[in-house]
Amino acid sequence: MFSHRVPRDLAANRLSTMVEAARAEGRPLLDLTASNPTQAGFAYPEGLLTPLADARALRYDPQPLGHTDARRAVTREYERQGAAVPADRIVLTASTSEAYSLLFKLLAEAGDEVLVPRPSYPLFEHLTRLDLVSARPYDLEYHGVWSIDIASVERAITPGTRALLLVTPNNPTGSFVTRDELDRLAALCTPRDIAIIADEVFADYELEPGAAAAAGRTAARRDVLTFSLGGLSKSAGLPQVKLGWLAVSGPPALAASAIERRVPGSGRRSPRGRWRITARCKPASPRFAPAGCCAATPGGARCSRCRRSNRKKISCFGCSATAFSCSPDIFSISRANRFSSSA
Protein backbone atom coordinates (compact mmCIF):
# COMPACT_ATOMS: atom_id res chain seq x y z
CA MET A 1 0.00 0.00 0.00
CA PHE A 2 2.72 2.52 0.96
CA SER A 3 5.77 3.51 -1.05
CA HIS A 4 9.37 2.69 -0.16
CA ARG A 5 10.02 6.39 0.37
CA VAL A 6 8.37 6.26 3.80
CA PRO A 7 9.51 4.14 6.78
CA ARG A 8 8.32 0.52 6.93
CA ASP A 9 9.10 -0.14 10.57
CA LEU A 10 7.25 2.21 12.91
CA ALA A 11 8.28 0.48 16.15
CA ALA A 12 9.92 2.74 18.77
CA ASN A 13 13.68 2.13 19.21
CA ARG A 14 15.16 0.70 22.42
CA LEU A 15 16.07 4.08 23.91
CA SER A 16 12.59 5.56 23.34
CA THR A 17 10.98 2.45 24.82
CA MET A 18 13.17 2.66 27.95
CA VAL A 19 12.54 6.42 28.35
CA GLU A 20 8.82 5.81 27.98
CA ALA A 21 8.94 3.07 30.64
CA ALA A 22 10.96 5.24 33.05
CA ARG A 23 8.47 8.09 32.63
CA ALA A 24 5.52 5.74 33.18
CA GLU A 25 7.13 4.60 36.44
CA GLY A 26 7.56 8.23 37.48
CA ARG A 27 11.38 7.93 37.72
CA PRO A 28 13.17 11.33 37.66
CA LEU A 29 14.95 11.80 34.32
CA LEU A 30 17.55 14.27 33.13
CA ASP A 31 16.98 14.30 29.35
CA LEU A 32 20.29 15.21 27.70
CA THR A 33 18.66 14.95 24.28
CA ALA A 34 16.22 17.80 24.96
CA SER A 35 16.65 20.23 22.05
CA ASN A 36 13.52 22.36 22.07
CA PRO A 37 14.77 25.92 22.74
CA THR A 38 11.27 27.16 23.51
CA GLN A 39 11.26 24.89 26.58
CA ALA A 40 14.79 25.67 27.74
CA GLY A 41 14.06 28.79 29.76
CA PHE A 42 15.37 31.38 27.27
CA ALA A 43 13.93 34.90 27.45
CA TYR A 44 12.97 35.84 23.90
CA PRO A 45 13.13 39.56 22.99
CA GLU A 46 9.91 41.47 23.48
CA GLY A 47 8.03 41.94 20.19
CA LEU A 48 10.12 39.34 18.32
CA LEU A 49 7.07 38.12 16.39
CA THR A 50 5.35 41.50 15.96
CA PRO A 51 6.48 41.78 12.29
CA LEU A 52 4.32 38.74 11.52
CA ALA A 53 1.27 40.99 12.01
CA ASP A 54 2.42 43.46 9.31
CA ALA A 55 -0.66 44.40 7.25
CA ARG A 56 1.34 44.06 3.99
CA ALA A 57 1.19 40.30 4.52
CA LEU A 58 -2.56 40.42 3.85
CA ARG A 59 -1.83 40.94 0.16
CA TYR A 60 -1.02 37.81 -1.85
CA ASP A 61 1.90 38.71 -4.08
CA PRO A 62 3.39 35.51 -5.53
CA GLN A 63 7.04 35.79 -6.56
CA PRO A 64 8.95 32.79 -7.91
CA LEU A 65 12.01 33.14 -5.68
CA GLY A 66 10.15 34.52 -2.68
CA HIS A 67 9.27 38.07 -1.68
CA THR A 68 11.94 40.58 -2.77
CA ASP A 69 12.00 42.46 0.56
CA ALA A 70 12.55 39.21 2.42
CA ARG A 71 15.34 38.17 0.04
CA ARG A 72 16.99 41.58 0.52
CA ALA A 73 16.84 40.99 4.27
CA VAL A 74 18.70 37.70 3.73
CA THR A 75 21.29 39.60 1.66
CA ARG A 76 21.82 41.93 4.65
CA GLU A 77 22.18 38.89 6.90
CA TYR A 78 24.99 37.59 4.64
CA GLU A 79 26.59 41.06 4.69
CA ARG A 80 26.63 40.83 8.50
CA GLN A 81 28.56 37.56 8.09
CA GLY A 82 30.95 39.21 5.63
CA ALA A 83 29.64 37.65 2.39
CA ALA A 84 28.24 39.50 -0.63
CA VAL A 85 25.21 37.55 -1.91
CA PRO A 86 22.82 39.48 -4.19
CA ALA A 87 19.08 39.03 -3.62
CA ASP A 88 18.63 37.48 -7.08
CA ARG A 89 20.80 34.55 -5.94
CA ILE A 90 18.56 33.82 -2.94
CA VAL A 91 15.53 31.51 -2.97
CA LEU A 92 13.16 31.42 -0.01
CA THR A 93 11.89 28.05 1.17
CA ALA A 94 9.45 26.74 3.73
CA SER A 95 12.15 25.21 5.98
CA THR A 96 15.58 23.79 5.31
CA SER A 97 13.98 20.41 4.74
CA GLU A 98 12.12 21.86 1.76
CA ALA A 99 15.37 23.40 0.49
CA TYR A 100 17.00 19.95 0.57
CA SER A 101 14.07 18.46 -1.30
CA LEU A 102 14.18 21.14 -4.03
CA LEU A 103 17.93 20.67 -4.44
CA PHE A 104 17.72 16.89 -4.67
CA LYS A 105 15.11 17.32 -7.42
CA LEU A 106 17.26 19.92 -9.16
CA LEU A 107 20.49 17.92 -9.07
CA ALA A 108 19.73 14.22 -8.90
CA GLU A 109 17.93 11.56 -10.84
CA ALA A 110 16.19 8.79 -8.89
CA GLY A 111 18.90 6.44 -7.64
CA ASP A 112 21.70 9.03 -7.77
CA GLU A 113 23.81 9.61 -4.69
CA VAL A 114 24.68 12.44 -2.35
CA LEU A 115 27.50 12.33 0.18
CA VAL A 116 26.54 12.99 3.80
CA PRO A 117 28.80 13.59 6.82
CA ARG A 118 29.02 11.04 9.63
CA PRO A 119 28.27 11.84 12.44
CA SER A 120 25.66 14.44 11.50
CA TYR A 121 22.03 15.40 11.25
CA PRO A 122 20.05 12.13 11.44
CA LEU A 123 17.24 13.39 9.17
CA PHE A 124 19.44 13.03 6.06
CA GLU A 125 18.51 9.37 5.76
CA HIS A 126 14.80 10.26 5.55
CA LEU A 127 15.16 13.42 3.46
CA THR A 128 17.16 11.61 0.79
CA ARG A 129 14.88 8.58 0.72
CA LEU A 130 11.79 10.78 0.26
CA ASP A 131 13.38 12.06 -2.97
CA LEU A 132 14.62 8.63 -4.12
CA VAL A 133 18.24 9.63 -3.62
CA SER A 134 20.84 7.49 -1.80
CA ALA A 135 22.89 8.93 1.07
CA ARG A 136 26.54 7.74 1.08
CA PRO A 137 28.45 8.59 4.26
CA TYR A 138 31.88 10.18 4.55
CA ASP A 139 33.64 10.54 7.87
CA LEU A 140 34.45 13.28 10.31
CA GLU A 141 37.30 12.34 12.66
CA TYR A 142 38.18 13.52 16.15
CA HIS A 143 41.74 14.25 17.23
CA GLY A 144 41.19 16.96 19.85
CA VAL A 145 39.15 18.82 17.25
CA TRP A 146 36.77 17.52 14.60
CA SER A 147 37.83 17.57 10.97
CA ILE A 148 36.67 16.10 7.68
CA ASP A 149 38.43 12.94 6.53
CA ILE A 150 38.96 14.15 2.96
CA ALA A 151 40.23 10.73 1.85
CA SER A 152 36.92 9.22 2.94
CA VAL A 153 35.08 11.81 0.80
CA GLU A 154 37.20 10.82 -2.19
CA ARG A 155 36.51 7.13 -1.53
CA ALA A 156 32.76 7.74 -1.29
CA ILE A 157 32.50 9.45 -4.69
CA THR A 158 31.03 7.32 -7.49
CA PRO A 159 29.86 8.18 -11.02
CA GLY A 160 26.37 8.60 -9.51
CA THR A 161 27.43 11.30 -7.01
CA ARG A 162 25.57 14.55 -7.58
CA ALA A 163 26.16 16.55 -4.41
CA LEU A 164 28.33 16.77 -1.32
CA LEU A 165 26.46 17.80 1.83
CA LEU A 166 28.31 19.81 4.47
CA VAL A 167 26.90 20.92 7.79
CA THR A 168 28.81 23.90 9.14
CA PRO A 169 28.81 24.13 12.06
CA ASN A 170 27.89 20.49 12.22
CA ASN A 171 25.15 18.96 14.33
CA PRO A 172 26.18 17.31 16.71
CA THR A 173 29.95 18.07 16.70
CA GLY A 174 29.69 21.88 16.55
CA SER A 175 32.67 21.92 14.16
CA PHE A 176 32.90 24.40 11.27
CA VAL A 177 34.29 23.43 7.87
CA THR A 178 37.67 25.14 7.66
CA ARG A 179 38.83 27.23 4.67
CA ASP A 180 41.41 24.63 3.77
CA GLU A 181 38.86 21.80 3.91
CA LEU A 182 36.44 23.76 1.76
CA ASP A 183 39.13 24.45 -0.86
CA ARG A 184 40.11 20.78 -0.96
CA LEU A 185 36.49 19.66 -1.23
CA ALA A 186 35.82 22.19 -4.00
CA ALA A 187 38.85 20.83 -5.85
CA LEU A 188 37.33 17.34 -5.65
CA CYS A 189 33.84 18.44 -6.69
CA THR A 190 34.45 20.94 -9.51
CA PRO A 191 35.95 18.60 -12.12
CA ARG A 192 33.32 15.94 -11.39
CA ASP A 193 30.28 18.27 -11.67
CA ILE A 194 29.39 17.61 -8.04
CA ALA A 195 27.55 20.46 -6.31
CA ILE A 196 28.12 21.45 -2.69
CA ILE A 197 25.12 21.83 -0.40
CA ALA A 198 26.22 23.60 2.77
CA ASP A 199 23.78 23.58 5.68
CA GLU A 200 24.60 26.68 7.74
CA VAL A 201 21.48 26.83 9.89
CA PHE A 202 23.64 26.93 13.04
CA ALA A 203 25.94 29.68 11.70
CA ASP A 204 25.26 31.88 14.75
CA TYR A 205 26.15 29.16 17.25
CA GLU A 206 29.91 28.98 17.65
CA LEU A 207 31.38 27.00 20.53
CA GLU A 208 34.47 29.22 20.68
CA PRO A 209 34.58 32.95 19.92
CA GLY A 210 35.94 33.60 16.43
CA ALA A 211 35.18 30.09 15.09
CA ALA A 212 32.54 31.36 12.63
CA ALA A 213 34.76 34.16 11.29
CA ALA A 214 37.64 31.73 10.75
CA ALA A 215 35.50 29.14 8.93
CA GLY A 216 35.31 28.48 5.19
CA ARG A 217 32.83 30.76 3.39
CA THR A 218 30.47 28.81 1.16
CA ALA A 219 28.07 31.56 0.05
CA ALA A 220 30.44 33.46 -2.21
CA ARG A 221 32.33 30.67 -3.98
CA ARG A 222 33.02 31.03 -7.67
CA ASP A 223 34.68 27.71 -8.46
CA VAL A 224 32.01 25.13 -7.60
CA LEU A 225 28.20 25.24 -7.80
CA THR A 226 27.26 25.81 -4.16
CA PHE A 227 23.97 26.07 -2.31
CA SER A 228 24.19 27.59 1.17
CA LEU A 229 21.22 26.88 3.40
CA GLY A 230 20.00 29.00 6.29
CA GLY A 231 16.77 29.56 8.16
CA LEU A 232 14.98 31.32 10.97
CA SER A 233 14.09 28.16 12.85
CA LYS A 234 17.65 28.02 14.20
CA SER A 235 18.90 31.60 13.92
CA ALA A 236 15.84 32.95 15.77
CA GLY A 237 15.78 29.96 18.12
CA LEU A 238 12.19 29.24 17.09
CA PRO A 239 11.87 25.81 15.44
CA GLN A 240 8.23 26.56 14.65
CA VAL A 241 9.17 29.48 12.35
CA LYS A 242 9.85 27.63 9.13
CA LEU A 243 11.24 30.34 6.87
CA GLY A 244 14.39 29.04 5.22
CA TRP A 245 16.53 30.13 2.29
CA LEU A 246 19.19 28.93 -0.05
CA ALA A 247 21.89 31.10 -1.59
CA VAL A 248 23.30 29.99 -4.93
CA SER A 249 26.94 30.68 -5.78
CA GLY A 250 29.57 29.22 -8.10
CA PRO A 251 30.68 29.88 -11.66
CA PRO A 252 28.30 32.71 -12.66
CA ALA A 253 26.74 30.99 -15.70
CA LEU A 254 26.15 27.77 -13.79
CA ALA A 255 24.69 29.56 -10.76
CA ALA A 256 22.33 31.52 -13.05
CA SER A 257 21.37 28.29 -14.78
CA ALA A 258 20.51 26.66 -11.45
CA ILE A 259 18.28 29.61 -10.52
CA GLU A 260 16.51 29.43 -13.91
CA ARG A 261 15.83 25.74 -13.46
CA ARG A 262 14.08 26.15 -10.15
CA VAL A 263 11.69 23.24 -9.82
CA PRO A 264 7.91 23.36 -10.37
CA GLY A 265 6.24 25.44 -7.73
CA SER A 266 8.65 28.27 -8.33
CA GLY A 267 9.10 27.80 -12.07
CA ARG A 268 8.05 30.10 -14.87
CA ARG A 269 5.25 29.40 -17.29
CA SER A 270 5.75 28.57 -20.93
CA PRO A 271 4.08 30.71 -23.63
CA ARG A 272 1.37 28.04 -23.79
CA GLY A 273 0.68 28.51 -20.11
CA ARG A 274 1.98 25.13 -18.96
CA TRP A 275 4.93 24.49 -16.69
CA ARG A 276 8.18 24.26 -18.58
CA ILE A 277 10.82 22.08 -17.09
CA THR A 278 14.21 20.97 -18.26
CA ALA A 279 15.10 17.35 -18.71
CA ARG A 280 18.32 15.50 -19.19
CA CYS A 281 18.10 12.37 -21.23
CA LYS A 282 19.50 9.61 -19.08
CA PRO A 283 18.34 6.00 -18.61
CA ALA A 284 16.42 5.59 -15.38
CA SER A 285 18.32 3.78 -12.68
CA PRO A 286 17.28 0.10 -12.65
CA ARG A 287 16.97 0.32 -8.87
CA PHE A 288 14.40 3.08 -8.99
CA ALA A 289 12.95 2.64 -12.49
CA PRO A 290 9.73 4.65 -12.24
CA ALA A 291 6.51 3.02 -13.40
CA GLY A 292 5.79 4.02 -16.97
CA CYS A 293 9.39 4.66 -17.98
CA CYS A 294 10.84 3.54 -21.28
CA ALA A 295 10.76 -0.17 -20.52
CA ALA A 296 6.96 0.00 -20.28
CA THR A 297 6.43 1.31 -23.79
CA PRO A 298 7.90 -1.19 -26.23
CA GLY A 299 7.71 -0.01 -29.79
CA GLY A 300 7.28 3.64 -28.81
CA ALA A 301 9.51 6.47 -29.96
CA ARG A 302 13.18 6.10 -29.08
CA CYS A 303 15.26 8.25 -26.76
CA SER A 304 17.56 10.45 -28.83
CA ARG A 305 20.58 9.45 -26.79
CA CYS A 306 20.24 5.95 -25.38
CA ARG A 307 17.89 4.64 -28.10
CA ARG A 308 15.54 3.01 -25.59
CA SER A 309 11.82 3.22 -26.27
CA ASN A 310 9.78 5.97 -24.76
CA ARG A 311 6.58 7.86 -25.15
CA LYS A 312 7.43 11.42 -24.00
CA LYS A 313 8.24 14.04 -26.54
CA ILE A 314 10.39 16.98 -25.50
CA SER A 315 11.40 20.11 -27.36
CA CYS A 316 14.47 22.33 -27.20
CA PHE A 317 14.02 25.69 -25.44
CA GLY A 318 16.09 27.49 -28.05
CA CYS A 319 15.25 26.06 -31.49
CA SER A 320 12.01 24.09 -30.78
CA ALA A 321 13.54 20.90 -32.27
CA THR A 322 11.80 17.85 -30.88
CA ALA A 323 13.35 14.75 -29.39
CA PHE A 324 12.37 11.89 -27.13
CA SER A 325 13.70 11.41 -23.63
CA CYS A 326 13.68 8.31 -21.51
CA SER A 327 13.45 10.12 -18.18
CA PRO A 328 11.40 13.26 -18.76
CA ASP A 329 9.89 13.02 -15.29
CA ILE A 330 13.26 13.66 -13.71
CA PHE A 331 14.96 17.02 -13.97
CA SER A 332 18.49 18.14 -13.56
CA ILE A 333 21.09 20.60 -14.78
CA SER A 334 22.68 19.55 -18.01
CA ARG A 335 25.36 21.31 -19.93
CA ALA A 336 24.32 19.36 -23.02
CA ASN A 337 21.12 19.94 -25.00
CA ARG A 338 18.53 21.76 -22.94
CA PHE A 339 15.14 20.32 -23.60
CA SER A 340 11.83 21.40 -22.15
CA SER A 341 8.80 19.25 -21.62
CA SER A 342 5.27 19.85 -20.43
CA ALA A 343 4.84 18.37 -16.97
* Exposed/middle/buried for residue 211 (C-beta within 10 Å: 0-12, 13-18, 19+): middle
- Choose between 256 and 263: whose C-beta lies nearer to ligand PLP: 263
Q: Which stretch binds ligand PLP (CB under 6 A): 52-60, 92-100, 136-144, 282-290?
A: 92-100
User: Binding string to ligand PLP for residues 96 to 125, with x set by CB under 6 A, is what?
Assistant: xx-----------------------x----
* Sequence-separated (6 or more) residues with CB below 8 Å from residue 42: 237
Respond yes or no on whether the N-terminal peptide bond of residue 286 is cis (omega within 30° of 0). no
- Choose between 238 and 295: whose C-beta lies nearer to ligand PLP: 238
Distance (Å, whole) CA 104 – CA 197: 10
The binder of ligand PLP chosen from 244, 245, 255, 308 (CB under 6 A): 244
Minimum distance from CB of 70 to ligand PLP (Å)?
A: 15
Minimum distance from CB of 316 to ligand PLP (Å)?
A: 37
Q: Which of 99, 89, 141 shows the shortest CA–CA distance to 118? A: 141
Report angle CA 33, 196, 277 to the nearest 5 degrees. Answer: 110
233 touching ligand PLP, by CB under 6 A = yes
Q: How many residues lie near ligand PLP (CB under 6 A)?
A: 13
Minimum distance from CB of 27 to ligand PLP (Å)?
A: 27
List beta partners, residue 209.
none
The binder of ligand PLP chosen from 66, 117, 216, 231 (CB under 6 A): 231
- Sites for ligand PLP among residues 161-200 (CB under 6 A): 167, 171, 199
The H or E element containing residue 249 is strand 243-249
Distance (Å, whole) CA 120 – CA 166: 9
Between the CA of residue 67 and those of 33, 100, 101, 219, what are the distances in Å? 36, 20, 20, 20
- Choose between 167 and 279: whose C-beta lies nearer to ligand PLP: 167
Chain residues in the site for ligand PLP (CB under 6 A): 95-97, 121, 167, 171, 199, 201, 231, 233, 239, 242, 244
